């Protein structure tokens, strides 16, 4: 197995220390596995898509604006 070193803030370390029963390496490993699975699925979707990169960027911007409007954070 390969090792990975992460840097975290002191505040986060202090919060983690409040829960010594947690296996934080396992928590990080699971989060990374889950993210990689999501990215693999997105790659599969992208392979089947006919949308251009420009269209995808524009769609992303539209979704971001829509979400911001719903959260009252919209800035023109």
Locate the domains of the chain by residue range.
10-70
Q: Which two tokens stand for residue 28?
A: 């990080």
pLDDT at residue 75 in the model: 61
The pLDDT assigned to 72 comes to 77
* pLDDT over 70 percentage in the chain: 95
The pLDDT tens digits of the residues spanning 36-59 come to 999 999 899 888 888 888 998 999
pLDDT on residue 35:
97
């Amino acid at each position: 197995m390969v090792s990975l070193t992460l840097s975290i803030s002191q505040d986060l370390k202090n919060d983690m220390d409040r829960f010594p029963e947690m296996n934080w390496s396992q928590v990080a490993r699971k989060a990374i596995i889950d993210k990689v699975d999501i990215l693999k699925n997105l790659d599969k979707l992208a392979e089947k898509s006919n949308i251009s990169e420009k269209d995808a960027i524009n769609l992303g911007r539209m979704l971001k604006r829509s979400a911001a409007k719903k959260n009252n954070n919209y800035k023109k």
